[in-house]
Amino acid sequence: MSDLPVALDAMGGDHAPKETVAGALLAAREGVPVVLVGDPERLAAELKAQGGELPIVPAKEVIGMHESATEVRRKRDASINVTVRLVKEGKALAAVSMGHSGATMAAALFILGRVKGIERPAILAELPADTPSGKVHLIDAGANADVRPAHLAAFARMGAAYAEQMSGVENPRVGLLSIGEEASKGNQLVLAAYPLVEKAAENFVGNVEGRDIMSGKADVVVTDGFTGNVVLKLAEGEAKTIFRWIKEALARDLKAKLGALLVKDALKGLAARMDPAEYGAMPLLGVQGAVFIGHGASDRRAVKNAVLRARKLARSDFLHALGA
Amino acid sequence: MSDLPVALDAMGGDHAPKETVAGALLAAREGVPVVLVGDPERLAAELKAQGGELPIVPAKEVIGMHESATEVRRKRDASINVTVRLVKEGKALAAVSMGHSGATMAAALFILGRVKGIERPAILAELPADTPSGKVHLIDAGANADVRPAHLAAFARMGAAYAEQMSGVENPRVGLLSIGEEASKGNQLVLAAYPLVEKAAENFVGNVEGRDIMSGKADVVVTDGFTGNVVLKLAEGEAKTIFRWIKEALARDLKAKLGALLVKDALKGLAARMDPAEYGAMPLLGVQGAVFIGHGASDRRAVKNAVLRARKLARSDFLHALGA
């Protein structure tokens, strides 16, 4: 099983197939076999242009970024469907796509199905934070805009299993995102979910607030997909804005410019830590298989990292831990 | 009316009455009359210790941070009630409290009442952003954890009026916080609110995402009080975390330490821009009067800025613009 390749939807993403092919070649050079899925002629040409070789599984159609996710049902030979089917058929270890995220979720749900006991698969995002692992696991980061209290309890279970298996966090601290620390604070959803999450999470630390997400109060932060998506995009957007302002501040006069030369290296590592491409993509948890969904804007490094992490998840005990 | 003082609940906040009295004295030195509300003996002693003079209106009771906001009904002579009553009776221009925010909201609602047509008063928070005014106006930042679609439309009206009157933004761009730019993206609340907000806001720019909050795509961002409170606290918390990481990075070796000396001044201005104390406190909009609610942890600078802004709001055309 370990020698099975990761299947990459090479047609998905704003910079496909150039960056998808380049990312796959980078992964292959690190010893991770990858199979490209998509238009065989375009992919062969791109491989040739980049001077690399990888197996191709042909897929005639593509689901465009402005099409509906329901096209997954109609276009049976769309690259994302073929990619996920390779996992279902045991021909690939995991599936990765930088394309239409709604379509990727739909394909994963229809083709792989849900893990028993998980009604709603959810997206997990990793953000830099002051935790022992250096990151916080946010779930759901956008798969379910409206959820019921019991769904949050299932997200807590999946988030904790992922933090344990993928980030090596022992007995992860699970927090429920709310607007006050007391169990009596929150909206109706969170108030109803509190006792369920408390029961579902082995190490429940209670409610956490927005300010606690990066400060490290929990290893796993549980929320609905609307709030989680806002949190994820704000966290990324704010880091970008602050680093842009820092750049401006360090160019404002000669003294600052001189200092900037000296601190450049120190700040570079920090900027990299805040860069979403470090993680590459986000897993869709709760389906019967390892599926990663990336930013449309992903570059080759993001593609490579996504492939590496998809393989790691597929080879981990995550699904087993969930009782799949 | 302009000579009326701002009423300050001098007993409210973690550092009361020391920091509240000090902040009031700073405001008074800038020509803004302030009346202190609270325990007359403690306040007189604090004024004496700080070598200042200010009028005191006695209030025998206090609503503690761990009491219920409903105590507002029982403790009629609590400092927050007396503070707001001064506004109601025309003896003060505006009310400011760094104490129990739930109690402050309750007192404002019971004593001042709502503006006609505003069912749910809301808290507005100002965050630094790449807009022409240098900030974004987030509403609701925490007053209403659960809202109906029509409430979001009222928040849009209030946020736009505030941005215009207080920040001098002409024809403010109003965005609805969601998880995708298209009108078809969002949770049930946002989907139902979209046409109502579109109608209520003169300059509606559609949905904005988490990444757009600080990037400057809108001058006013409308959301429910749960999401808004998470956004506010994450934005403040992330800035703190990043600046702490920068500090660590700039101390990692001799070269970085040398550079740090040169860039210190340039980064200081930026850190100040991210500091919530610059704004001092947040207005509760939609009640019949100017009421500002501050962080419990407010220092004297935050208190002073809150007093100044409360006076500015009371003297502005904000309530008039809302049709109060």
Query: Rounded mean pLDDT of A12-21?
Result: 94
Q: What is the pLDDT of residue A2?
A: 57
Write the residue in B213, B233, B245 that is nearest to A210 by C-beta: B233
- Are residue B165 and residue B213 in the same domain, yes or no? yes
Greater model confidence, B119 or B273? B119
**So what's the pLDDT on residue A271?**
83
8 A C-beta contact, residue B257 and residue A278: no
Closest residue on chain A to B191 (Cα)? A145
Write out pLDDT tens, residues B305-321.
Answer: 999 999 999 999 999 99
A191-231 pLDDT, tens digit each: 999 999 999 999 999 999 999 999 999 999 999 999 999 99
Taking alpha carbons only, the member of A134, A133, A80 closest to residue A103 is: A80
- How far off is chain A from B212, nearest CA to CA, in Å? 7
Q: Residue range B188-198: average pLDDT?
A: 98
What's the whole-number mean pLDDT along residues B55-74? 92
Residue with tokens 């900027």: A271
**Other Cβ atoms closer than 10 A to A48:** 10
Q: CA A71 to CA B213: how far, in whole Å?
A: 32
pLDDT at A278 over 80: no
CB contacts of B234 in chain A (<8 Å) are: 210-211, 213-214, 231, 234-235, 238
Residues A100 and A208 in one domain: no
Chain mean pLDDT for chain B: 95
**Are A262 and A297 found together in one domain?**
no
- What is the pLDDT at residue A21? 98
If asked whether residues A201 and A104 sit together in one domain, one would say: no
Give me the pLDDT at residue A174, please: 98
Sequence-distant (6+) residues with CB within 8 A of A150 are A119, A193, A196
Give the full edge-to-edge strand order of the sheet including B34-38.
B56-58, B34-38, B6-9, B94-97, B290-294, B281-285, B122-128, B135-139, B220-222, B174-177, B204-208
For residue B145, the model assigns a pLDDT of 97
Residue B99 CA to residue B19 CA, distance in Å, equals 12
Those residues with Cβ within 8 angstroms of residue B187's Cβ, 6 or more apart along the chain or in another chain: A145, A146, A224, A226, B178, B179
Confidence of residue A300 (pLDDT cuts 50, 70, 90): very high
Check residue B58 and give its pLDDT. 98
User: Which pLDDT value is given to residue A66?
Assistant: 86
Pair of tokens at residue A115: 């893990």
* Per-residue model confidence (pLDDT) at position B2: 57
* Residue found under tokens 């021909």: A91
pLDDT of amino acid B279: 73
A228-249 pLDDT tens trace = 999 999 999 999 999 999 999 9
Whether A277 shows a pLDDT value over 80: the answer reads: no
Taking the C-alpha atoms of residue A215 and residue A315, their distance in angstroms, rounded to an integer, is 31
Q: Taking CB atoms and an 8 Å limit, are B274 and A236 in contact across chains? A: no
The Cα–Cα gap between A249 and B274 comes to: 14
Phi, then psi, of B122 in degrees rounded to 5: -140, 155
Q: Is B48 helix (H, G, I), strand (E, B) or coil?
A: helix
CB contact under 8 Å between A187 and B265, yes or no, is no
List the end-to-end C-alpha distance of chain B, in Å, as a whole number.
17
Say which of A211, A258, A263 has its CB closest to residue B256. A263
Residue A99 domain boundaries: 1-118+286-324
With residue B139 as reference, give the H or E element that holds it.
strand B135-139
Residue B278 pLDDT greater than 80, yes or no: no
Question: Confidence band (pLDDT; 50, 70, 90) for A285?
Answer: very high
Region of B286 (left: φ > 0; alpha: ψ -120 to 50; beta: rest) is: left
Q: Which of A240, A223, A236 is nearest to A141 (CA)?
A: A223
Which among A211, A229, A258 has CB closest to B237? A211
CA–CA min distance B36, chain A (Å): 29
With cut-offs at 50, 70 and 90, classify the pLDDT of residue A257. Answer: very high
Q: Does one domain contain both B202 and B179? A: yes
User: Is residue B84 assigned to a domain?
Assistant: yes
Residue B1 has pLDDT above 60, yes or no: no
DSSP 3-state assignment of A279?
coil
Residues of B in contact with A265 (CB under 8 A): 255-256
Q: Which pLDDT score, from 0 to 100, does residue B293 have?
A: 96
Which residues in chain B are closer than 8 Å to A273, comparing Cβ atoms? 245
* 3-state secondary structure (DSSP) of residue B18: helix
pLDDT of residue B270: 87
Residue A261 and residue A132 share a domain: yes
pLDDT at A275: 80
**Region B58-71 average pLDDT:** 91
My answer on whether B128 and B24 are in the same domain is no
Query: What 3-state DSSP class applies to B110?
Result: helix
Boundary (domain end) residue, out of B258, B276, B294 = B276
- A210 and B190 within 8 Å at the Cβ level: the answer is no
Least confident of A137-141, B41-45, B182-186: B182-186
Each residue of A204-242: b (16+ CB within 10 Å) or e? bbbbbbbbbbbbbbbbbbbbbbbbbbbbbbbbbbbbbbb
Determine the Cα–Cα distance for residues B238 and B251; give it in Å rounded to an integer: 20
Residues of A in contact with B239 (CB under 8 A): 238, 242
**Domain co-membership, B238 together with B138:** yes
One-letter amino acid at A42 equals: R
Q: Are B227 and A227 a contacting pair at CB < 8 A?
A: yes
- What is the pLDDT at residue A65? 86
Q: Look at residue B13 and tell me if it is in a domain.
A: yes
- A168 with A292, same domain: the answer is no
Residues B165 and B181 in one domain: yes
Percent of chain B with pLDDT over 70: 99
Compute the CA torsion angle A25, A29, A32, A38 (nearest 10 deg).
Answer: 10
| Residues A114 and A180 grouped into a single domain | no
Task: Taking the CA atoms of B231, B232, B233 and B235 in sequence, report the sign of the dihedral they define.
Answer: positive
How does residue A324 score in pLDDT terms, banded at 50, 70 and 90? low
Q: What is the count of residue pairs from A and B with beta carbons less than 8 Å apart? A: 186
What is residue B232's three-state secondary structure?
Answer: helix
- The strand pairing partners of A176, in sequence order, are A207, A222
Instruction: Provide mean pLDDT across the span A168-194.
Output: 96
The answer as to whether B281 is a domain residue is no
The verdict on B78 and B183 lying in the same domain is: no
pLDDT digits over A51-62, tens only?
Answer: 999 999 999 999
Say what the pLDDT of residue B269 is.
85
**How many domains are contained in chain B?**
2
Q: What is the pLDDT of residue B260?
A: 92
Amino acid, single-letter form, for residue A95 = A
Mean pLDDT along residues A82-97: 98
Determine the pLDDT at residue A305. 95
The domain spanning residue B255 has which CATH number? 3.40.718.10
Cβ atoms of A189 and A224 closer than 8 Å = yes
- Asked if pLDDT for residue B3 goes beyond 60, the answer is yes
Residue A269's pLDDT band, with cuts at 50, 70 and 90, is: confident
Let me know if residue B66 belongs to a domain: yes
**A187–B231 CB contact, under 8 Å:** no
Average pLDDT over residues A100-109: 95
